[in-house]
Chain A
């Protein structure tokens, strides 16, 4: 029979936002109900096409390809920082060219992907690119396909760290902080800033063309949203 101490240790290990080990203070782990649901699909079918829209992760590539699925990587947050996307609107304000963004990115045939991992992209990407990106995802996903997105709750502050997510188990993620090249400062890197917090109604509107939407509330100021195409 497990001792009280063993049970307490299990409880601590399963808590969100605990360091993976004392030797790796920047790597955090969290349980993910969304990844749990996606794992069920990955384990029940073969040869699925998975699009990972986070920073390139060897872990994720290994996780999906070892199960016999096809992995596609596309780091859209980094792509959205391309200076070539900047243009002036009619009032002379600098805006991002969403048309060019979608010419250069997410260029796949219709109904191509079974699973899309969007992670926390909408919270950190320039707002004008969010809706066009979601609309393109609707086109490139298969009907019935699953889309996983993380949204911060309003408890999150503007300095909330931007993480990349590595899938390390059927419902377990490892998180490491993302730093991207700072615009105009050669060689320097900085953490992307949280651009906004979507409320539930905004999220439902964003995915209104999709078949269904399910929210999982986590303890670390994150809502996991699983959307069915």
Chain B
């Protein structure tokens, strides 16, 4: 499992199904199913390879290895790994997309504060 390295993070395993609002103040590794909204303002979300998310996501950083259906608003960075399937609009400062990742939606790369 390619979970975040170092530090503490919460983990939602692949057998877990959540419907509703999800918010937190720590990094989250999500390999289960979530339907609703996810808000981790100053923390990062990793959607694991088994993760199926139908939610709008607000976080500092978002890494997707599984399936995400919804908009992503990441204040710092979005990474789509080669197995990622993302349908929704992305707004972030930095984006990395591996060969093979699938994205259907608009990408809005916002410039960092202080840069022209």
Q: B2-10, B13-21, B93-101: which lies at the A interface?
A: B93-101
With A56-B102, A56-B103, A75-B102 known as contacts, the answer to whether A70 contacts B97 (CB < 8 A) is no
Whether A176 contacts B106 by the Cβ 8 Å rule is no
Whole-angstrom distance between the Cβ of A146 and the nearest chain B Cβ: 19
Residues of B within 8 A of A72 (CB): 105-107
Whole-angstrom distance between the Cβ of A199 and the nearest chain B Cβ: 32
Answer whether residue A171 sits at the interface, using C-beta atoms and an 8 A cutoff.
no
Flag B76-116 by CB within 8 Å of A: 1 or 0 each. 00001000000000000001111101111111110000000
Q: A57-65, A125-133, A217-225: which lies at the B interface?
A: A57-65
Flag A30-69 by CB within 8 Å of B: 1 or 0 each. 0000000000000000000000000111100110011000
Whether B107 contacts A71 by the Cβ 8 Å rule is yes
Whether B95 contacts A58 by the Cβ 8 Å rule is yes
Question: In the assembly, what is the distance between CA of A176 and CA of B95, in Å?
Answer: 20
Residues of B within 8 A of A61 (CB): 95, 97, 107, 109
Name the one of B96, B99, B107, B109 contacting A73, with C-beta atoms under 8 angstroms: B107
Question: In the assembly, what is the distance between CA of A70 and CA of B98, in Å?
Answer: 20
Whether B97 contacts A176 by the Cβ 8 Å rule is no
Residues of A within 8 A of B95 (CB): 58, 61-62
Whole-angstrom distance between the Cβ of B114 and the nearest chain A Cβ: 17
With A58-B96, A58-B97, A61-B95 known as contacts, the answer to whether A78 contacts B102 (CB < 8 A) is yes
Whether A56 contacts B108 by the Cβ 8 Å rule is no
Residues of A within 8 A of B106 (CB): 70-72
Whether A65 contacts B108 by the Cβ 8 Å rule is yes
Question: In the assembly, what is the distance between CA of A55 and CA of B97, in Å?
Answer: 11
Answer whether residue A204 sits at the interface, using C-beta atoms and an 8 A cutoff.
no
Whether A73 contacts B103 by the Cβ 8 Å rule is yes
Residues of B within 8 A of A55 (CB): 102
Residues of A within 8 A of B107 (CB): 61, 65, 70-73
Question: In the assembly, what is the distance between CA of A74 and CA of B45, in Å?
Answer: 24
Whole-angstrom distance between the Cβ of A29 and the nearest chain B Cβ: 17
Residues of B within 8 A of A78 (CB): 102
Question: In the assembly, what is the distance between CA of A71 and CA of B109, in Å?
Answer: 9
Question: In the assembly, what is the distance between CA of A176 and CA of B100, in Å?
Answer: 11
Whether A56 contacts B101 by the Cβ 8 Å rule is yes
Whole-angstrom distance between the Cβ of B6 and the nearest chain A Cβ: 26
Chain B residues close to A by CB (< 8 Å):
80, 95-99, 101-109
Besides the contacts A61-B109, A65-B107, A65-B108, what 9 more A-B pairs have beta carbons closer than 8 Å? A56-B97, A56-B103, A58-B96, A61-B95, A62-B95, A70-B107, A72-B106, A73-B104, A75-B103
5 closest residue pairs by CB, A with B:
A58-B97, A65-B109, A56-B103, A71-B107, A73-B103
